[in-house]
Structures are given as C-alpha cells and as structure tokens.
C-alpha cells in the first residue's frame, strides 16, 4: 500500500515536472481480493493491486486531468504533459475557482462545527484476510446450503484501500480503510433467498447468520404462487428500500438544480414526503464508511437533507455554491455553502451526498412486527434492475427477486412469483407506515446507506413474471 509519505514524494516530483499555475494530484488504489462461489464450489477467486494518480493542472481558468498507474519519472512527466496539453487548449472558465487552500478545507460552516471525528475505518485483522480464510468462510456457507439441500452462490471479498489529495496551495488529505463483504444467494428448485452485508471491519460480519437467513428464505418461498399485480402494502427489507431510494440522491445537488435536471427543482422547502422521513448525509456516522473529504479535499459536513418530510437543502461543491449564490434559485434552495460533497474537477455533475443516514423514528418496528400488523401485503427481500422511467415524479421500475412473500392476516403465507413495480419515489416516501431501526445496508443498485426496513402503503406492482 502506498503511504502518505510516499504520496507526498510523488506529488513533489509531479510539481517539478509542471509549468502550470496550479497542480493537484489525487491518489487512489490498494489491494482487493474476492472469492466467488456458485454451485457450492469456488469457481472464481481473484486478487489485484493497483495504485493510481490523477494529475490536474490549471492555466488561467482552464483545467484538465490525466491519469496513470505508473510512477516512474517518464510516466509522471507524460501524465503532467497530457494534463497540461488538455488544459491549454480550452477556453477560460470564469466559474473555475482557485484550488482549495488548507483554510478552505473545513467546508460547511453551519453544520460542520458539530461534526464528529471520523471513526477508525482501517482494521489490521481485515487487512490481513487471506485466501485461505475466505475459502474457509465459503466452506461454512456451503455447509449451511448442504444442510438445507440447497445450492449456494455468492462472494466473500476483502480489501485495503487509500485515497489522497495534494495540491500546490498546500492542501493535503489522506484516508485509508479496509473492507469486507459477504453476499449469499441460496437456490432451491423454484425459489431463492439472499442476504448481503459489508463493513470496514470483518468482525461485524456474521456469515453463518446470513447463510441461515438466506436459506430460510429459499425454503419458505418454495413453490411460489402467482397472485395478480396491483397496489399492495409492501414491507421492504433495508436492502430493498436502499436500492430504490438510492435513485434520488444524485438530485440532492446544487448543480442538478442549476441544470434543471433534479426532481427537487422548485421543490426545496416543500413537504414532499411523509412527516416520518428525515434524512441526513453524515460521513462520521459510526455505521458509515469512506473518506471524510471530497474531490477537492474539502471536509464533508453533516447535512440534513430532509426533515420530517420537508426537503431542506442540497449539497454543494465550492464552485456550485458560488454559482448558486448568483442564480435565480438563490432565495429558494436553503443554505448555500460548500458542503464537502464535490467530485474531482473537472466534471459535469458537481456533487452528490454519498453517506446517507435515515433517522430513527419513535415507535420503530421490527420486520416481524410489521408483518404481524399487515392484513394483506408483500414482503420484499431484494429489488433488481431498477431504472428511472420518469425523472420529475421520480417514477422507477424494477423487479423483486430472491425472496418475495405473501403476507395475510399478520403471517407470511409463502412465496409468490416476482413482480415488476412502477412506483414514484415521492409517492412511496409519502406512504411509509412504519420503519425499523436503521442499519448499515447494502444492495446492488445503489450505494451503501444507514437504512431502515419500510412498510409502504399502495406500492404499485404492474406485472408478474414467470417465476
């Protein structure tokens, strides 16, 4: 793994090769390994190590980037020259700000003062995971599958990574973390079950419980019956809820408002969702992961995006905040300030909150309690292939998968064939009847969040498939 000191040396060499007004270097990479299994056997088993630098140069309001994974002098010089060549041929951009200085890096003033220190996210035991340990973990999952006469497929991955930024105004930031992830599908003849969990710390993962839960879902959803599509009360387990709500967070961006591509255009300050919906972005939350600085090196603030169903504000990169203050929207979008959510420059999309935390509610219910209070509804383990159908009402389509159950009279009555939904996120988050305590959740369609299970009224299933 590249160290901060080594990165500093590389940055010094890059500076030496450059004639630009300003230089920035992003560092990323690390070691990653993934053991993949299917049909109760390990069929793919990979590892990689890669270190990447991305050089941004600036000449009089013009900027561009060149990326390489080679750190010898010739490669660094070539990357610098490529970046400078791309920069020089552009038109000067009056909105391009000087690179951030160390004093700029503290980010959001309004809520940043309350920021908690980032929890430790690098764990030596997780960094030391071996192929043998992952194979042993898979073996234990296969034992569970065999015990239930099921076939299993999934992954057990681990890694150690770094991110860093250095610029010629003296700013430098560095972050390291580890990661471990287990995802398990259990397959029966005509049914399946799924579970997934990840954490910077392997000690937080419980492979056997995940395997047993996935197996239980596969067994209990066997011989699925077909019931007609229509509007149902649904209970979305955290992974399912996460995958669908994840489609709205790129719209919580000042740039998306300026571009008029956000469904929040003209809606900030409105009661858009139910009063039980409160959402913030908080990289320091103990169940979150990732670095505490953005693509310009600005500290990520804790930002309350939605409070009691009212959209309060969006996030900003530095230049977006500057543009918004001069825009026609400036009086209707809440606080405007750099929040530490910008992507590396140059880019077209500005910024996005990536450390979403749903606030716990008074009277939260477990999934079991939600089931017990449901006269007729559908329990959804996982959603799949979600896509946006209509961007302003945030109409999404997708399928259920790997454990879809009918609930009647407060009890799970068995598996049902998978549904296609077409549902507006605004409608869905206005119809949440109950939520569980939020947990760290992971899906496949969106990024990890701190997310509750949700019981939702009038969820719109439009078709049913053949399994």
Peptide bond into 346 cis (omega under 30): yes
Tokens 């029966």, residue located: 188
Q: How far apart are CA 255 and CA 314, in angstroms?
A: 9
The three-class DSSP label of residue 106 is: helix
Shortest distance, position 14 Cβ to other proteins, whole Å:
15
Spatial CA neighbour of 24 closest among 297, 229, 260: 297
Tokens 């977006």, residue located: 320
Exposure pattern of 61-95 as b/e (b: 16+ CB <10 Å)? bbbbbbebeebeeeebebbbbbbbebbeeeeeeee
**Among residues 22 and 82, whose Cβ is nearest to other proteins?**
82
**Among residues 192 and 197, whose Cβ is nearest to other proteins?**
192
**Among residues 55 and 434, whose Cβ is nearest to other proteins?**
55
**Among residues 403 and 438, whose Cβ is nearest to other proteins?**
403
Shortest distance, position 186 Cβ to other proteins, whole Å:
10
**Among residues 24 and 402, whose Cβ is nearest to other proteins?**
402
The secondary structure of residue 101, as a DSSP letter, is P
**Among residues 77 and 307, whose Cβ is nearest to other proteins?**
77
Shortest distance, position 235 Cβ to other proteins, whole Å:
20
Shortest distance, position 411 Cβ to other proteins, whole Å:
27
Shortest distance, position 134 Cβ to other proteins, whole Å:
7
**Among residues 373 and 397, whose Cβ is nearest to other proteins?**
397
Shortest distance, position 364 Cβ to other proteins, whole Å:
30
Q: How far apart are CA 352 and CA 257, in angstroms?
A: 12
Shortest distance, position 263 Cβ to other proteins, whole Å:
8
Spatial CA neighbour of 376 closest among 459, 465, 273: 459
Q: Is the dihedral of CA 361, 366, 371, 373 positive or negative?
A: negative
In a 13 Å sphere around the CA of 48, the CA atoms on its Cβ side amount to 7
Contacts of 26 by beta carbon, 8 Å cutoff, 6+ apart: 53, 54, 56, 163, 164, 165, 295, 344
């Amino acid at each position: 793994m590249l160290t901060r000191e080594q990165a500093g040396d590389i940055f010094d060499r890059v500076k030496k090769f450059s004639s630009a007004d300003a230089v920035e270097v992003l560092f990323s990479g690390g070691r990653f390994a993934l053991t993949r299994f299917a049909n109760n056997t390990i069929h793919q088993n990979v590892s990689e190590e890669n270190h990447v630098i991305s050089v941004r140069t600036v000449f009089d309001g013009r900027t561009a980037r060149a990326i390489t994974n080679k750190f010898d002098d010739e490669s660094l010089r070539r990357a610098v020259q490529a970046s400078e060549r791309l920069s020089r041929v552009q038109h000067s951009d009056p909105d391009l700000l000087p690179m951030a200085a160390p004093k700029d890096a503290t980010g959001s003033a309004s809520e940043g003062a309350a920021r908690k220190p980032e929890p430790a996210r690098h764990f030596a035991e997780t960094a030391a995971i071996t192929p043998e340990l992952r194979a042993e973990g898979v073996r234990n999952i296969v034992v569970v599958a065999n015990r239930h006469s099921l076939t299993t497929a999934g992954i057990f991955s681990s890694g150690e990574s770094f991110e860093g930024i250095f610029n010629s105004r003296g700013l430098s930031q560095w972050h390291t973390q580890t990661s471990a992830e287990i995802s398990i599908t259990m397959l029966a003849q005509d049914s399946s079950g799924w579970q997934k969990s990840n954490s910077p710390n392997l000690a937080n993962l419980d492979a056997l419980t995940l395997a047993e839960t996935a197996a239980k879902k596969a067994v209990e959803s066997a011989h699925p019956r077909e019931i007609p599509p229509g509007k149902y009360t649904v209970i979305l387990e955290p992974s399912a809820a996460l995958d669908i709500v994840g489609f709205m967070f790129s719209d919580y961006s000042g740039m998306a408002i300026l571009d008029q591509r956000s469904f929040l255009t003209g809606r900030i300050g409105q009661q858009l969702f139910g009063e039980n919906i409160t959402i913030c972005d908080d990289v320091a939350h103990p169940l979150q992961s990732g670095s505490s600085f953005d693509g310009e090196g600005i500290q990520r603030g804790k930002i309350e995006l939605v409070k009691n169903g009212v959209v309060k504000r969006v996030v900003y990169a530095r230049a977006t905040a500057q543009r918004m203050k001069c825009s026609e929207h400036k009086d209707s979008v809440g606080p405007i300030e750099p929040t530490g959510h910008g992507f590396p420059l140059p880019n077209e999309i500005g910024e996005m909150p990536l450390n979403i935390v749903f606030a716990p509610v008074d009277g939260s219910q477990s999934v079991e309690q939600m089931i017990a209070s449901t006269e007729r509804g559908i329990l959804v383990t996982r959603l799949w292939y979600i896509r946006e159908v209509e961007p302003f009402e945030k109409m999404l389509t997708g399928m259920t998968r790997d454990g879809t159950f009918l609930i009647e009279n407060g009890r799970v009555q068995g598996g049902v064939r998978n549904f296609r939904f077409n549902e507006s996120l605004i409608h869905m988050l206005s119809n949440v009847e109950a939520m569980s305590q939020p947990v760290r959740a992971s899906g496949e369609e969106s990024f990890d969040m701190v997310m509750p299970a949700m019981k939702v009224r009038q969820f719109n299933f439009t078709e049913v498939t053949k399994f």
